[in-house]
Structure 1
Amino acid sequence: MNEEIEVYGDDDGIMLLGDSEDIRQALAELQISEEHTTDISKAAILKTAHRATKMFSKAQDRSGRWVKLTKESAQKARKHGLLRNNSTGNFMGVIGKGGKGGIKGNVQFEKIAGGFNPAKVANVEMLMLTMALEQAMKEMTDYLKQIDAKVDQVLRQQKNAELAKFLSVAGLVSEAENELSHIGSLSDATWDQLSNSAQTVNEVQQYSLLQLKDIAEKITSSVNDTRTTKDALVKARSGIGDWLAVAADCLRMRDRIDMLKVQRFIDTDINPDLLSKHRFVIADNRRARYHSITDATAKLQQAIKQAVQGKDDTMRVILLPMDAPVVIREGNEIASSLARFDKALGLEYKTPHFSEKQWNQAMGEVGQSIANSTEQLMQQTRSTLGEGAKQIGNVANEAGNQIKKAFGNFPKLR
C-alpha cells in the first residue's frame, strides 16, 4: 500500500477514498469483496446534477468505493478502530501505508491525507447518503418487480381521495427526476410542486401500516379456533402482500424525494455545518420510517407464529383434517412473504418453516401410543395374570387391527 486510504462510515455504509490499487488492498485487509462495493464515480447524483459534480470534485480526484453496511462489515469497522465524529456520530479513520497490519486504530482524523476540512467531510457524508438512497431504491424496485406489485390497483380499490394523491405524487417526482437529468438542477417551480408530496406519501404509508396492524389483530384474535384461524389466514395472505407492496413503494418514493431534496440543498450552496445537519435529519427520518415498518412486520410475524403453533398437533390434525393443514400452509406462505420484504429492507430474517403433519402420520402416532400403552399394561400384569395377559394382548392387537383398517397405518402391537 503506497498511500493512506481515507475511511468514512455512517449507519448505512462505508466509503474508502484513495488510490484505486491501494483501495483494493484495503478491501482485502477488511475482507470485503470488491464486487460488493460501488464505484462512487457511478453515483447517480454525479451523473445528473452539475453543482453536485462540482461539489464532489475533490472526492472524485481520488478513487472511491462505497459498501453497504451490514452486520458483518459493521463489526469489521469496529474491529479496526475507526473513530466516531462527536458532532455527526459517523465513523472516520485511515488505513495506513506500508507493511502488514495496515489498519491504524485510534488515528486522529485531522492527520489523514489532505487534512481535516469541514466542507470536505460534509460533502463526503452527503455523497454517502446519496449512495445509500440509491442502493435502497434499487432494492425496493427489485422487490416490487419480484412480487409483481400492483400498487396503483390496490390504492384505487380503496376509493379514498387521499390515497389517490399518491399516484399524482409519483408523476410529479418522475417529472422532477427527468428535469434534473436533462438540466442538472431543479427549478423553484418544480420544487414548489413537490413541497407537500412527502406528507402525502407519509399518509399513505401510515394507512398501509394501519391495514397491516388490523390484519395482525384479526389473526391474533382467531388463535383459539382452528377453523377461524384458517379463514383469517386465507383472507389475510393477499391483503398482507398488497399492503407490504404499498409500504415498499412509499419507502422508495420518500427516498426519491430525499434524493431531490439533497440536490436542492446542494443548489442553495449552504455552509458545510448546515449541510451536515440536513444530512443528519434526512438520515434520522429515514431510520424512523424504516423502524415503523419493521415494527409492523414484527407484529405480523409474531401473530403468524401464535396462530400456527399447535395447529399441527396430533388430535387437531385427526379431528380437522381439512383445516389444520391449510393453517400450516398459509402460515408458511405469509412467513415467506414477510421474509422477502425484510430482505429488501436489508434485514437478516430467517424464514420460519412450520411443519405440516399428515393425517396418516397423526394416526400412526395414535396407534403407537396405543401400542405403547398395551405393552406397558402387559408388562404390569404378566407376573400375576399369566395366560390372561396374552388374552389381553390378543384383544388389544385385534382392536389395533380394526383401527388400522379404518384409519390408516401405524406400528403393529407386540
Structure 2
Amino acid sequence: MDNAIQLISDGDGLAVIGNPTDVERFLASEGLPSKDIGPGRLRSVFGTGAAVAQAGSEIAGNSGRWVKLTTESAQRLKKFGLMETKTPGVSHAMLGKPGSIKSWLQIEKGVGSFLTNPARLAGAAGIMAQLAMQQTMDEITDYLAAIDEKVDDVLRAQKDAALARMIGVDLVIEETMTIREQVGRVSDVTWSKVQAAPTTIAETQAYALCQLDALAEKVEHKSKSKIGDLATAASEAESKAQEWLAVLARCFQLQDAIAVLELDRVLDDAPEELDRHRLGLRVARQNRLDLIARSTERLVARMNAAADTANAKVLLHPTKSPAIVQSSNHVATGVHDFHGRLGIESGRRSSDARRWVHAATEVRDKALETGAKGVGAARSLGNETLDRAGSMKGKVSSGIAELARRRRGDEEERDQEG
C-alpha cells in the first residue's frame, strides 16, 4: 500500500513519520497544527552505528512532525486505533491511503514500519517528551513577556543567596541549550556545566512557594480583623503574587530544559535506560506540578474567602470592600493563566463586588418586606374585626327592627279592641 505513515503517541503528543508529502497531507486532512521534528532528532530514533547505516535509506526518505495533543485532537485520533506497544505509555499505528479512497486506514504491516523495534519506539518516545517540554518552555516565554515581569529584578531584590545563584544558573542553561541546538547532542563537557543546576532551581522554587503560602496565610489572618487590614493584605497579595508566579514559571521552564538535556545525555551514554529515565522524569515533573497547584490554589481559596467577607460588609465599607473583591479577581485570573501555561487544570471562580447602593437597597427591601408583612397582618386583623363588628351590627339592627315591628303590631291590636 502506498502513502504509508507511522503514528506514535505517548499520550501528550503525536509523532507522524513518513514521506514528507504524505505527512503533510495527513495533518491537513485532520486539521492538526504541528512542529518539525528535524532530521537530526529523527536520525536518533534509529540508534547509532550499524543501526543508522541499515536504516539510512528510511531516514533519507522520511520526515517527522510532532503534534501537541488536546482533548479534542486526542478524541479524533481514536478512530485510527493506535495500539499499545511494549514501551510503557506509547501507542503506535501504521496508516495507508490508497489513491481511490479518501480516508486514512490502518494497515497491519508494510515497508518502512521501522518503529516496531522497541528501542526505536523508546527513542521516539524520548523525542516526543523533549518536544512536549520545549513546547511548554515556549509558552512560558510568551507568558513572561505578556505579564512583563522581570524575573531577574525580582530575584535581585531578595537577600537569599540561592536566589542570587539562580540568575547565573539561568544564563548557563540557556548557553547549554544553544550549544545543543548547534551540535545536535550533549557532550560530557556540555553536561558538566549544568549538572549542579537542579539544586539551585529547586531552592528557588521552594522559596517562591513559601512566599505564596505566606501571602495566603496573611490574607486568611486579616479576614478575621478589620476590613481595612484585610484590604491592605489583599492589595499586597495582588501585587506580590504575580511576581512569585513569574519566578515559579521560570523555575519550571529551566527544570524542563534540564530534563531535555538529561534525555540527550542518557541517549548517548545508556540508551537502554532511556525509556525508564523518560518515565522517571515524567513522574517527577507531575509531582512538581501538583506541588505548585496546591500552593497556588490555596492562595486563590483564601482570596475568594476574603471577597466573600468583603461583600458581606459592603454596606459599612463601600470603598474598601469592592477593592478587596477586585484584588481577589486579579489574583484568580493570574493564577488561572499561570496554570494554563504549565498545563495545570484549574477552575476559576470570579467574585462580583456588591455595590453599596445594592446592599443598601437590599437592606431597605428586607425592611419594607418585613414592614409590609406587619401592616398586612394588622390590616387583616382590622378587616376581620370590622367584619365581625359589621356582622354584630347587622344582628343588632335586625333585632331592633324586629322588636320595633312587634311593638307596632301590639299597639294596632289595642287600638282595634278599644
TM-score, normalising length: structure 1: 0.79
Offset at 1:9?
A: 1.2
1:371 corresponds to which of 357, 368, 378? 368
**Which residue pairs with 2:324 in the alignment?**
327
Q: Indicate yes or no: 2:290 matched with 1:291.
A: yes
- The 3-state SS of whatever aligns with 2:369 is helix
RMSD between superposed Cα atoms in Å:
3.3
Offset at 1:78?
A: 4.7
Residues of 1 paired with 2:145 and 2:201: CA distance? 20
- The 3-state SS of whatever aligns with 1:149 is coil
Offset at 1:27?
A: 4.0
Offset at 1:74?
A: 3.3
Residues of 1 paired with 2:39 and 2:353: CA distance? 48
Offset at 1:80?
A: 4.6
Residue type matched to 1:72 in 2? E
Gaps of 5+ in 2: 387-418
Q: Indicate yes or no: 2:191 matched with 1:191.
A: yes
Q: Deviations over 1:295-344 (max 9, x none)?
A: 2222222222222225323xx11112232111111101111111110121
**Which residue pairs with 1:355 in the alignment?**
352
Q: Kindly name which structure, 1 or 2, has the bigger radius of gyration based on alpha carbons.
A: 2
- Asked if structure 2 preserves the Cα contact closer than 8 Å seen for 1:37 and 1:68, the reply is yes
Residue type matched to 1:83 in 2? M
- Asked if structure 2 preserves the Cα contact closer than 8 Å seen for 1:212 and 1:300, the reply is yes
Residues of 2 paired with 1:192 and 1:145: CA distance? 30
CA 332–156 in structure 1, closer or farther in 2 if over 3 Å, else same: same
Residues of 2 paired with 1:336 and 1:344: CA distance? 13
Residues of 2 paired with 1:24 and 1:177: CA distance? 29
**Which residue pairs with 1:400 in the alignment?**
none
Q: Deviations over 1:336-383 (max 9, x none)?
A: 111110121134545432111111111121222223223322322223
CA 86–108 in structure 1, closer or farther in 2 if over 3 Å, else same: farther
**Which residue pairs with 1:73 in the alignment?**
73
- Asked if structure 1 preserves the Cα contact closer than 8 Å seen for 2:5 and 2:18, the reply is yes
Residue type matched to 1:353 in 2? S
Residues of 2 paired with 1:240 and 1:109: CA distance? 54
Residues of 1 paired with 2:284 and 2:59: CA distance? 26
Q: Indicate yes or no: 2:262 matched with 1:265.
A: no
**Which residue pairs with 1:62 in the alignment?**
62
- Asked if structure 1 preserves the Cα contact closer than 8 Å seen for 2:82 and 2:91, the reply is yes
- Summarize the alignment of residues 177-256 of structure 1 with structure 2, pairs less than 5 Å apart: 177-225=177-225, 226-256=227-257
Residues of 2 paired with 1:309 and 1:202: CA distance? 35
TM-score, normalising length: structure 2: 0.78
Residues of 2 paired with 1:183 and 1:10: CA distance? 27
CA 209–46 in structure 1, closer or farther in 2 if over 3 Å, else same: farther
CA 162–46 in structure 1, closer or farther in 2 if over 3 Å, else same: farther
Residue type matched to 2:92 in 1? M
- Asked if structure 1 preserves the Cα contact closer than 8 Å seen for 2:87 and 2:121, the reply is no
CA 193–22 in structure 1, closer or farther in 2 if over 3 Å, else same: closer
Offset at 1:88?
A: 1.8
What is the number of residues matched between the two proteins?
374
Offset at 1:165?
A: 1.1
Residues of 1 paired with 2:91 and 2:321: CA distance? 52
Residue type matched to 1:217 in 2? E
Identity fraction in percent: 30
Offset at 1:90?
A: 2.0
Q: Indicate yes or no: 2:380 matched with 1:383.
A: yes
CA 174–132 in structure 1, closer or farther in 2 if over 3 Å, else same: same
Q: Indicate yes or no: 2:117 matched with 1:117.
A: yes
CA 165–332 in structure 1, closer or farther in 2 if over 3 Å, else same: same
Residues of 1 paired with 2:70 and 2:36: CA distance? 18
**Which residue pairs with 1:138 in the alignment?**
138
- The 3-state SS of whatever aligns with 2:222 is coil
- The 3-state SS of whatever aligns with 1:309 is helix
**Which residue pairs with 1:403 in the alignment?**
none
